[in-house]
């Protein structure tokens, strides 16, 4: 396209660009039909409808405490949930909802010992199963690891398989640690003042790790796409909507997370206690699949690697792939590359239905 | 990125390549900047100050509403917390009831099997 043509098309392109940005909120995310199984406070457990169930072991998806779990089911044709249903899995999802100031006292103890524990219980009851597969992503993956490593007075968690996607275990080398790792930053005070940390502030901090890329390049690339006539509105809008949907982070959980991940790395030393019960990752003896992303700046791969030395599982697989923290699992290439490998790993470890 | 060793580049391509170079350099420079401890300190202070200002603003607005005998944010939060506590208790009671129901059902199955 010549420069003259570009100038002539500028008004139309500008209108289309503005339209894509302004109608982003209208994009449909999380469209796969689902039913509410259980609710407690802000937490909701969903079960996805399936007519193609081939495996008896249900699969429970757990996302982070920042952003929404809709990323598991971003849009038709690019939805991990949709893919897993097609493959015959019985899929459940725990949604932490939108915690607000009244949830400020929700800590990691409450999320692991109550919400996740009860979601597991309800999943097993609904599926009529004895054990399930836990699939966690980002903070959700760490919560799943803590859940499996929690001292249960000799009892065993009803988890058969553990799938951990881009999981942080030791965040002391990440960009966040440079900001919040300093003891001068009074985390407790900020948590106390806010109650629950505003989602917008968390999102801003995430974006500030790569400021030019997030605040400029994303929009510049969209503009280039509009000019070239190949802007993919159906791909851009659901992801942009998901990125902008930021629930508040309960203050107590946030302060605990900072301490656990960026200051103390207590999971490495078995020093974490939830409700006076010790979390020891050596208790993890399930079949474990860990997926790490080479260009992950939120949970860099070196921060996940110590996990392998801590657990006692004999059936462990590590899929080290290129890609980013979210793009690796939710990107357009995942459907043909990563998801089939994940499904094959799960199929071998999820008993077929009778 | 366009190949600048190719002499056949149009002026527009050259400008574009320069722009992309500048953008890439700026991205790297900013990423280095935000990783500096001084930036972390700046961010931490800003977060603390914003939190304090937010709290002061909320308290002021709450005071205004309370003087009008209308529930403010703090009152609604307190009420919501009470509701949450009740929900926690109810959830635990429900789980106990479900466990007992399962126990009774299992015992009944055993009895039926025996008879």
CB A96 within 8 A of CB A138: no
Residue A318 has pLDDT above 90, yes or no: yes
Say whether B62 sits in a helix, a strand or coil.
helix
How far apart, in whole angstroms, are the C-alpha atoms of residue A150 and residue A277? 7
Helix or strand run (H / E) with residue B93: helix B73-114
> B2 falls in which pLDDT band (50, 70, 90)?
very low
Per-residue confidence (pLDDT) for residue A179, from 0 to 100: 87
**Å between B27 CA and nearest CA of chain A:** 5
Pick the CATH number of A31-198+248-349 from 3.50.50.60, 1.10.150.120, 3.40.50.1820, 3.20.20.450: 3.40.50.1820
Interface touch A185/B55, C-beta < 8 Å = no
How far apart, in whole angstroms, are the C-alpha atoms of residue A294 and residue B89? 45
Which residue, among B19, B22, B34, B54, would best test binding to A if mutated, counting the most A CBs under 10 Å from its CB?
A: B34
Say whether A223 sits in a helix, a strand or coil.
helix
How far apart, in whole angstroms, are the C-alpha atoms of residue A250 and residue B77? 13
Cβ contacts (< 8 Å) between A211 and chain B: which residues?
Answer: 27, 30-31, 34
Helix or strand run (H / E) with residue A203: helix A199-208
Identify the bridge partners of residue A293 per DSSP, sorted by sequence position.
Answer: A321
Per-residue confidence (pLDDT) for residue B16, from 0 to 100: 84
Per-residue confidence (pLDDT) for residue B6, from 0 to 100: 55
Phi, psi values for residue A46, rounded to 5°: -110, 150
Interface touch A121/B81, C-beta < 8 Å = no
Interface touch A211/B35, C-beta < 8 Å = no
Q: Take residue B10 and report the two structure tokens written for it.
A: 């149009």
Out of A138, A144, A148, A170, the active site residue is A138
Per-residue confidence (pLDDT) for residue A218, from 0 to 100: 94
Tell me, what DSSP letter sits at residue A297? S
Per-residue confidence (pLDDT) for residue B62, from 0 to 100: 85
Interface touch A220/B51, C-beta < 8 Å = no
Domain boundaries, chain A: 31-198+248-349
Per-residue CA distances from A245 to A41, A98, A142, A325, B19 (Å): 20, 10, 21, 17, 31
Q: Percent of chain A beyond pLDDT 90?
A: 81
How far apart, in whole angstroms, are the C-alpha atoms of residue A52 and residue A54? 6
Q: Take residue A331 and report the two structure tokens written for it.
A: 């990107």
A185-196 confidence digits (pLDDT tens): 888 888 988 888
Q: What is the mean pLDDT of residues A41-50?
A: 94
How many C-beta neighbours within 10 Å does residue A130 have? Answer: 10
CB A135 within 8 A of CB A165: yes
Q: Domains in chain B: how many in total?
A: 1
Q: B102: nearest CA in chain A?
A: A125
Residue B84 contacts A where some CB pair is shorter than 8 Å: yes
Q: What is the mean pLDDT of residues B58-72?
A: 85
Q: What is the mean pLDDT of residues A80-99?
A: 96
Per-residue confidence (pLDDT) for residue B73, from 0 to 100: 82
Dihedral over Cα of A73, A79, A82, A85: its sign: negative
Residue B7 has pLDDT above 70, yes or no: no
In-domain check, residue B43: no
Q: Is A318 a catalytic residue?
A: no
Per-residue confidence (pLDDT) for residue A67, from 0 to 100: 93
In the block, tokens 């997370």 appear at A257
Q: What is the mean pLDDT of residues A13-28?
A: 95
Q: What is the mean pLDDT of chain B?
A: 86
Residue A22 has pLDDT above 90, yes or no: yes
**Which residue range forms the structural domain that includes residue B88?**
71-115
Residue A110 has pLDDT above 60, yes or no: yes
A264-277 confidence digits (pLDDT tens): 889 998 889 999 99
Per-residue confidence (pLDDT) for residue A47, from 0 to 100: 97
Interface touch B40/A100, C-beta < 8 Å = no
Q: Take residue A91 and report the two structure tokens written for it.
A: 């899929």
User: Half-sphere exposure of B30 toward its Cβ, with a 13 Å CA cutoff?
Assistant: 17
Per-residue confidence (pLDDT) for residue A1, from 0 to 100: 67
Dihedral over Cα of A299, A301, A303, A306: its sign: positive
CB A187 within 8 A of CB A251: no
CB A276 within 8 A of CB A152: no
A237-246 confidence digits (pLDDT tens): 999 999 999 9
Q: Take residue A66 and report the two structure tokens written for it.
A: 């920042």
Q: What is the mean pLDDT of residues A122-134?
A: 96
Nearest partner of A141 among A28, A244, A267, A322, judged by Cα? A267
Residue A189 contacts B where some CB pair is shorter than 8 Å: yes
Q: Take residue A321 and report the two structure tokens written for it.
A: 């792939």
In-domain check, residue B79: yes
Per-residue confidence (pLDDT) for residue A35, from 0 to 100: 96
Residue A209 contacts B where some CB pair is shorter than 8 Å: yes
In-domain check, residue B83: yes
Q: Is A297 a catalytic residue?
A: no
> A97 falls in which pLDDT band (50, 70, 90)?
very high
Residue B1 has pLDDT above 80, yes or no: no
Q: Percent of chain A beyond pLDDT 70?
A: 100
> Burial level of B102, CB count in 10 A (0-12/13-18/19+)?
exposed
Q: Is A325 a catalytic residue?
A: yes
> B5 falls in which pLDDT band (50, 70, 90)?
low
In-domain check, residue B5: no
């Amino acid at each position: 396209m010549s420069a003259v043509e570009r100038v002539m098309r500028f008004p139309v392109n500008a209108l289309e660009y503005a339209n894509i940005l302004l109608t982003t909120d209208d994009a449909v995310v999380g469209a796969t039909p689902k039913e509410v199984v259980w609710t407690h406070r802000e937490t909701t457990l969903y079960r996805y409808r399936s007519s193609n169930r081939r495996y008896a072991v249900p699969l429970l998806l757990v996302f982070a405490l920042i952003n929404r779990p809709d990323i598991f089911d971003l849009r038709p044709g690019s939805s991990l949930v949709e893919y897993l249903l097609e493959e015959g899995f019985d899929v459940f999802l725990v949604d932490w909802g939108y915690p607000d100031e009244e949830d400020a006292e929700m800590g990691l103890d409450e999320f692991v010992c109550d919400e996740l524990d009860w979601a597991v219980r309800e999943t097993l009851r609904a599926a009529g199963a004895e054990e399930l597969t836990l699939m966690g992503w980002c903070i959700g993956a760490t919560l799943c690891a803590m859940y499996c490593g929690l001292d249960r007075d000799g009892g065993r968690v009803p988890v058969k398989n553990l799938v951990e996607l881009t999981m942080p275990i030791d965040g002391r080398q990440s960009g966040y640690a440079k900001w919040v790792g300093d003891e001068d930053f009074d985390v407790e005070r900020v948590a106390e003042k806010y109650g629950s940390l505003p989602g917008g502030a968390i999102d801003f901090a995430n974006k500030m790790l790569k400021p030019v890329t997030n605040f400029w390049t994303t929009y510049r690339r969209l503009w280039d796409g509009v000019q070239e006539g190949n802007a993919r509105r159906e791909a851009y809008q659901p992801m942009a909507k998901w990125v902008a949907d930021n629930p508040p982070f309960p203050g107590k959980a946030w302060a605990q997370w900072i301490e656990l991940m960026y200051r103390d790395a207590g999971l490495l030393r078995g020093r974490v206690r939830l409700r006076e019960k010790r979390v020891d990752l050596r208790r993890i003896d399930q079949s474990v699949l860990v997926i790490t992303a080479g260009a992950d700046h939120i949970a860099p791969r070196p921060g996940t690697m110590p996990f392998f030395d801590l657990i006692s599982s004999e059936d462990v697989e590590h899929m080290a792939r290129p890609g980013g923290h979210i793009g690796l699992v939710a990107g357009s290439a995942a459907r043909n590359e990563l998801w089939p490998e994940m499904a094959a790993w799960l199929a071998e470890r999820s008993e077929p239905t009778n | 990125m366009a190949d600048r060793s190719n002499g056949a580049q149009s002026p527009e391509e050259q400008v574009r390549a320069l722009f992309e170079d500048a953008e890439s350099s700026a991205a790297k420079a900013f990423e280095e900047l935000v990783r500096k401890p001084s930036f972390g300190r700046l961010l931490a202070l800003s977060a603390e100050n914003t939190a304090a200002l937010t709290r002061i603003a909320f308290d002021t607005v709450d005071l205004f509403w309370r003087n009008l005998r209308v529930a403010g944010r703090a009152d609604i939060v307190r009420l919501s917390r009470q509701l949450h506590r009740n929900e926690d208790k109810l959830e635990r009671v429900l789980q106990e009831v479900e466990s007992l129901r399962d126990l009774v059902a299992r015992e009944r199955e055993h009895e039926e099997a025996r008879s």
